[in-house]
Structure formats: C-alpha cells, structure tokens
Amino acid sequence: MKKLPLLGNITPAEFLRDYWHKKPLLIRGAIPGFKPLLKFEKLAEMARQNHVESRLVTQKDGNWDMQHGPLAELPARTEPNWTMLVQGVNLYDERADELLRQFRFVPDARLDDLMVSFATDGAGVGPHYDSYDVFLLQAHGKRRWKIGSQQDLTLVEGLPLKILANFKPEEEFVLEPGDMLYLPPHYAHDGIAEGECMTYSIGFRSPSFQELGEAFLQFMADSIDLPGRYGDPELKPAKNPAEIPRDMLDTVTEELNKVRWDQEDVTVFLGETMSEPKHNVFFTGPAKPLTVGRFMESAAKRGIKLSSKSLMLYRGKHVFINGESFAVGRADKVVLDVLANERRIDGAVLDKATDDVLEALYTWYQDGWVELG
C-alpha cells in the first residue's frame, strides 16, 4: 500500500503496526489546505433536527453542563466556552462521507462516523478518554490538545459528562486546519479552542463482548430448532412434590445442549449486526421512483451507488446490507462485492448481474438504500 500524507507519509500497514491501539500520532498537514466541509449555520441546522444526535456542552465558572439535542437554541456565537457536537455528519453530507471513507484502510465493520464539533473561544469538553480509537482532524481555527498516557482513568462523580479526576497531560500541541491527531482507546486528552474552532472526529466502533453476547443469544432464538416436548412416561410418585425431579433436570440439560452454533451462524449474526443502521437513521426513497425498466436503463448508463447511510458488508457467500442478509451464488457475489467495496458499480458490471440481483437493486433503490449515478 502507498504512503499516505493523511497518515504523515507512512503506509496504512506501518500506521497499524506502530500506532493503532498503541500510541498517539500527530500529523501536521494530514490534509493540506483543508477547508471545513460545512458552515456553522448548516451544522446548527443539523443539530436542530430530531433524528440527528447532537450535544451542547457548556462550562461556566468551573461548572459543566451538557444538553442533548435537538438543540433549538444555541448561545451567541460570540459567547466563549460552549461546544456543539454533531454526530453522524457523514450520513447527511456526501463530502463528509467521502472524508470518512479515506479511513477505509480500517474495515467498514470498524468504522463508525464523523462527528463535528464547533467550539467558541476557550471551549472544550474537558479532560476525558474515549473507549475507541479516534482521529481528530482540525477543520477550522486552532485547538490546543493536551494528552497523557495515564492509567488512572477515575472520573469526577456526579457530572453530566465524563471528566477525568486526575488529568496529567504529558504533551501539548496546537492543531491548525488540516492537522490531525490520532489517539488510541483510553488515551487521556483535553482539547481547548483558541478562538472559534471546528474539529472533525473520525470514530470507530468497538462493541463490547457482553453486548455482542446478548445480541447473539437473541439472534439464535430465531434460528434454534428443538422439536418435541418434555414428557415422563417412567414417572414415579413424588416424595417431595416441590423438588424438581432429577430426571427432569437431566432431560432438559440434554435438550438445551443441542443448541449449537458454528462460524456460519456467527458470520450471519455479525454481518446483520454490524450492517444494522443506528436507530436514528431513516432512509428516504425517491419521491417519484422510476419504473423498473427506466431504472435498469438509467443504471446501465450511469451506474449505481450506495446511499451514504447504507452499510454493506460481506463474508464468503453472505452479503449484508442495512441489517439484512442474503446467501448468494458466485456470479451475484462478484457484482455485490464490487458494490460493497467500491460503494458503487458501473453499468458495465451490472451487465453481469442476474435477475435476482437486479430485482434486489430495484427494491433498494425504491427504499433509498442505493441511488442512481
């Protein structure tokens, strides 16, 4: 793989080997000449929407306050010490989506979203740590980052946000537009705006095993098959009627031990789970969808692309899109793998698609999962 200016002129393999999960990396000029993709007004408008996750963090006289969106009103832009944070900006802005996709040397199943923060002078969300890796790209203005490798991650109790009780910064940098700071999970950090600034956070997903385990058992509930019903043709008179009979316990244990799973089940579970859009994501299909014939004609000319909101993954013969899974044949797999990896397919590739795939694509188009062009 090529050396990337985005990673400070090292290859993704070198970055992953030396920094990922291990140590911070400051990259000056990661995106030279970077300009914010969204103006403050656009961001504030997003934060007013019900379906967009946003927060307003303010600090006054040492007191922290956090309000969850929708944010109908914001403090004056000239007032210091407040931050507006908007999550999932990539879902609603194509250029933000493109920016996030520059980080696809990390697989899609691990990529989360682009969060944008707008801060007035002196503002920050306090010294804290995150449970996942993060790239902090400075988009506008300056932010002073203080970071530390401390093990003590005790939080101040009783606050509406996570603030480290004993923050001990070891390094300090002022980031300017286009500079980027990578931090591994659990690395203490505190970013303070020097004048008005905007920071873009490229975040990753790391589900807890407990979360996965609970979801997996629910998933398995839909697919287990245990025919028959408990019976006891050899039943003897009960001496202690309240005691659960030994035979009953043995039989039920034996039956439940028949619940088994293999990697195929885990594949389908993981694909469906990791491709499931967040609860606040809604798709809107075209207001006046083309007929299937016109759609095919247009797709053959212009190709098809995934909506920024669509999550598409695959493994072996299993293809996943927005929480649904399909087992596909070899020819369909070739076409759908291209769509998943490139997030678009040319008309020429569509030529090789079977009727099953074309039918699915048309349904996805009606549902707003894919778009023409």
User: Is position 130 an interface residue for Co ion (rule: CB under 5 A)?
Assistant: yes
Nearer to Co ion, 91 or 181 (CB): 181
Pairwise CA distance, residues 140 & 5, whole Å:
19
Between 199 and 218, how does the x/- string for binding to ligand SIN read (CB under 6 A)? x-x-----------------
Nearer to Co ion, 187 or 369 (CB): 187
**Residue 346 binding: pick among Co ion, ligand SIN, none (C-beta 5-8 Å cut-off by kind):** none
Nearer to ligand SIN, 184 or 191 (CB): 191
Residue listed under structure tokens 């009960």: 238
Q: Which of residues 132-191 bind ligand SIN (CB under 6 A)?
A: 134, 189, 191
- Angstrom distances, CA of residue 247 to CA of 42, 226, 242, 259: 67, 18, 14, 19
From first CA to last CA, the distance across the chain in angstroms is 29
Among 14, 108, 130, 255, binds ligand SIN (CB under 6 A): 130
CB of 106 to ligand SIN, least distance (A): 17
The radius of gyration of the chain from alpha carbons, rounded to an integer in Å, stands at 26
Q: Which of 168, 171, 177, 164 is nearest to 145 (CA)?
A: 171
Q: Which residue is nearest to ligand SIN (CB)?
A: 117
Q: Strands, E, within the chain: which ranges?
A: 25-27, 54-60, 63-68, 82-86, 111-119, 134-148, 171-175, 180-183, 188-204, 304-306, 312-315, 318-321, 324-327, 344-345, 370-372
CB of 57 to ligand SIN, least distance (A): 8
Alpha carbon 223 to its chain centroid, in Å, reads: 27
How many Cβ atoms sit within 10 Å of the Cβ of residue 182?
22
Residue listed under structure tokens 């399909």: 326
Side-chain half-sphere CA neighbours of 54 within 13 A = 25
Q: Which of residues 329-358 bind Co ion (CB under 5 A)?
A: none
User: Is position 276 an interface residue for Co ion (rule: CB under 5 A)?
Assistant: no
Nearer to ligand SIN, 189 or 309 (CB): 189
Give the total of residues touching ligand SIN (CB under 6 A).
11
Among 125, 202, 328, 336, binds ligand SIN (CB under 6 A): 125
Buried b (16+ CB within 10 A) or exposed e, 277-295: beeebeeebeeeebeeeeb
Between 92 and 121, how does the x/- string for binding to ligand SIN read (CB under 6 A)? -------------------------x-x--
Among 83, 138, 150, 322, binds ligand SIN (CB under 6 A): 83
Indicate the pairing of strand 171-175 with strand 134-148. antiparallel
Nearer to Co ion, 121 or 130 (CB): 130
Nearer to ligand SIN, 134 or 370 (CB): 134
DSSP code per residue over 354-369: -HHHHHHHHHHHHHTS
Pairwise CA distance, residues 9 & 14, whole Å:
10
User: Is position 86 an interface residue for ligand SIN (rule: CB under 6 A)?
Assistant: no
Pairwise CA distance, residues 252 & 259, whole Å:
12
Nearer to Co ion, 163 or 358 (CB): 163
Nearer to ligand SIN, 26 or 372 (CB): 26
**Interaction site with Co ion (CB under 5 A):** 130
Which residues lie near ligand SIN (CB under 6 A)? 83, 117, 119, 124-125, 130, 134, 189, 191, 199, 201
